[in-house]
Amino acid sequence: MVLVDSVTRAGESVIAHRRSPEPVGDGAVAAPRTPPGRASTRSRTGTPRLAKFHVPEILFGPGSLSEAAHAAVRLGARRPMLVTDPGLCAAGWPTQLCAHLAEAGLRATVWDGVTPNPKDHEIAAGHVVYREQGCDVIVALGGGSVIDAAKGIALLAGNGGRITDYEGVDRMALPIPPMVMVPSTSGTGADVSQFCIVTDTARNTKITILGRALVPDMSIVDPHLLTTMPDWLNAATGLDALTHGIEAYVSRAHNPLTDHHALQAIALVGEHLERTMDHPSEEAARTCMAQAALEAGLAFTNAILGAAHAMSHQVGGLLDLPHGVINGVLLPHVIRFNAEPDPHRFVPIAQALGLPGRIAPDSTAGAAEAAEWAAEEVRRIADELGVPKGLGEIGVTEADVPVLSTMTLADACLSTNPREADQADIEALFRTAL
Ligand SMILES: [Fe+2]
């Protein structure tokens, strides 16, 4: 059994899980399948399971942005650095936050040099500003790209070097500055996660940096901020949240604590994402999507992810496309691939998405039908949101498949995919998704 390692150190856990001969669903931290998907805190032998759950302090609710300044003060800020992007500046939220910081006696250094899929050189430039201005606390207001860039700056502030030096798990040795994260999209989960995803511009890929130190000190989730998202970003980040929930639920590193949040996130996205597209100013649906993104983040930062993300990172690094859109294309294919040898974990996922009727708990045929229904439902949602049918429509070619597949095999997220996948499997998945 690999109980403690699997929940204490993500990197060790994923290796341990990959080496485990135990079938998925019966692993050390996985729950028995009776009833489907309802994990218990005891193993089949009655031994209490161990589960560790990383989480920042969270403040959730409309209007909570005003608390960000107090959070910074509590964390010792004298000269906070506010990381954001030009789109958010145009929407006015950083100005509002700076006013709150000023009320608390803090003058922020505002830096908005981040682009989508944040680049290694942008993080280096932000770090120069952090040091030159003598900053001491990082406050990020933005989507996943802004928050990942802020984490990268914090990492360099504490540890030096280049951001690409830290690819992998727990590669940073020294403490990093306190971080307050204010997400402006409903999907990435970066505000609660131990992930930092950065584009390595030398290799045209996205690298995954993973570590407990990257879990922010505070996440402030204000659904009001979601109302200024463009529709395409709402769609993309909502699909990202759905992918986080589904991949976390079937991950080899899932546990009873992550299962609850994963299923709740899946259900909330299934019920509310399309409504936010049709009624963008409706606060109730926005608040539900903010909760979905938060719970998906809580699930995946602890359970890690799977093949859809491992593949998506490579496509995103190659073509600088919205991460959630790529996930939306890939996810139905990855569901089918993962469900083929054992579809049972996909029954609760299908039910969370609204599968009509009942599935007998031990029916493999029924579970397979449920998994296929879930794959089709994800594709239906993607269609409703205007997501392309295949990767070919967004610029991936057959010639890209071998190198994308090779790089996928090196992505940390693949290690927790419930089904082993080799080069041929990943190439076949990419070709199916073209
Ligand atoms: Fe994601």
CA of 5 to the centre of ligand 1 (A): 24
Residue 27 covered by a domain: no
pLDDT tens for 50-65 read: 788 989 999 999 999 9
Question: 74 with 198, same domain?
Answer: yes
Instruction: Give me the CATH number covering residue 98.
Output: 3.40.50.1970
Question: 192 with 242, same domain?
Answer: no
Query: Residue range 240-268: average pLDDT?
Result: 97
CA of 240 to the centre of ligand 1 (A): 5
CA of 105 to the centre of ligand 1 (A): 36
CA of 360 to the centre of ligand 1 (A): 32
CA of 401 to the centre of ligand 1 (A): 21
Question: 303 with 218, same domain?
Answer: no
Residue 48 covered by a domain: no
Instruction: Specify whether the CB–CB gap between 262 and 296 falls below 8 A.
Output: yes
CA of 399 to the centre of ligand 1 (A): 25
Query: Residue range 334-346: average pLDDT?
Result: 97
CA distance 426 to 402: 9
Instruction: Specify whether the CB–CB gap between 119 and 201 falls below 8 A.
Output: yes
At residue 302, does pLDDT exceed 60?
Answer: yes
CA of 204 to the centre of ligand 1 (A): 18
CA of 215 to the centre of ligand 1 (A): 16
Instruction: Specify whether the CB–CB gap between 194 and 10 falls below 8 A.
Output: yes
Closest by CA to 329, choosing from 382, 377, 380, 277, is: 382
Q: Which residues pair with 137 in a beta bridge?
A: 80
Of 228, 250, 276, at which residue does a domain stop?
A: 228
CA of 407 to the centre of ligand 1 (A): 17
At residue 250, does pLDDT exceed 90?
Answer: yes
Question: 223 with 246, same domain?
Answer: no
Rounded to the nearest integer, the mean pLDDT of the chain is: 88
CA of 73 to the centre of ligand 1 (A): 30
Residue 301 covered by a domain: yes
CA of 144 to the centre of ligand 1 (A): 9
At residue 242, does pLDDT exceed 70?
Answer: yes
CA of 238 to the centre of ligand 1 (A): 10
CA of 245 to the centre of ligand 1 (A): 10
Q: Please tell me what DSSP assigns to residue 410.
A: T
Question: 222 with 307, same domain?
Answer: no
CA of 136 to the centre of ligand 1 (A): 28
Question: 153 with 274, same domain?
Answer: no
* Secondary structure of 25-76 as H, E, C letters: CCCCCCCCCCCCCCCCCECCCCCECCCCCCCCEEEECCCHHHHHHHHHHHCC
Among the residue ranges 222-226, 272-276, 357-361, the one predicted with the least confidence is 357-361
Residue 401's pLDDT is 97
Confidence of residue 88 (pLDDT cuts 50, 70, 90): very high
Residue 31 covered by a domain: no
CA of 323 to the centre of ligand 1 (A): 7
Closest by CA to 351, choosing from 32, 7, 39, 36, is: 36
Residue 362's pLDDT is 79
Residue 217 belongs to domain spanning: 57-228
Count of structural domains within the chain: 2
Residue 39 covered by a domain: no
Question: 180 with 319, same domain?
Answer: no
Residue 321 covered by a domain: yes
Instruction: Give me the CATH number covering residue 243.
Output: 1.20.1090.10
CA of 410 to the centre of ligand 1 (A): 17
Of 170, 203, 228, at which residue does a domain stop?
A: 228
Confidence of residue 285 (pLDDT cuts 50, 70, 90): very high
Residue 49's pLDDT is 67
CA of 243 to the centre of ligand 1 (A): 7
CA of 300 to the centre of ligand 1 (A): 9
CA of 45 to the centre of ligand 1 (A): 35
Question: 223 with 259, same domain?
Answer: no
Residue 349 covered by a domain: yes
Question: 391 with 311, same domain?
Answer: yes
CA distance 38 to 33: 7
Among the residue ranges 302-316, 356-370, 397-411, the one predicted with the least confidence is 356-370
Q: Are strands 57-60 and 109-111 parallel, antiparallel or unpaired?
A: unpaired
CA of 309 to the centre of ligand 1 (A): 6
Q: How many CB atoms lie within 10 A of CB 44?
A: 9
Single pTM value for the model: 0.87
pLDDT tens for 385-424 read: 999 999 999 999 999 999 999 999 999 899 999 999 999 9
CA distance 31 to 259: 9
Of 196, 228, 260, at which residue does a domain stop?
A: 228
Question: 103 with 131, same domain?
Answer: yes
Question: 182 with 260, same domain?
Answer: no
Element (DSSP H or E) covering residue 210:
strand 205-210
Task: Sheet with 218-221: list strands edge to edge.
Answer: 57-60, 218-221, 179-183, 137-142, 80-83, 109-111
CA of 179 to the centre of ligand 1 (A): 20
At residue 24, does pLDDT exceed 60?
Answer: no
Question: 242 with 375, same domain?
Answer: yes
CA distance 362 to 34: 8
CA of 79 to the centre of ligand 1 (A): 31
Residue 3 covered by a domain: no
At residue 269, does pLDDT exceed 70?
Answer: yes
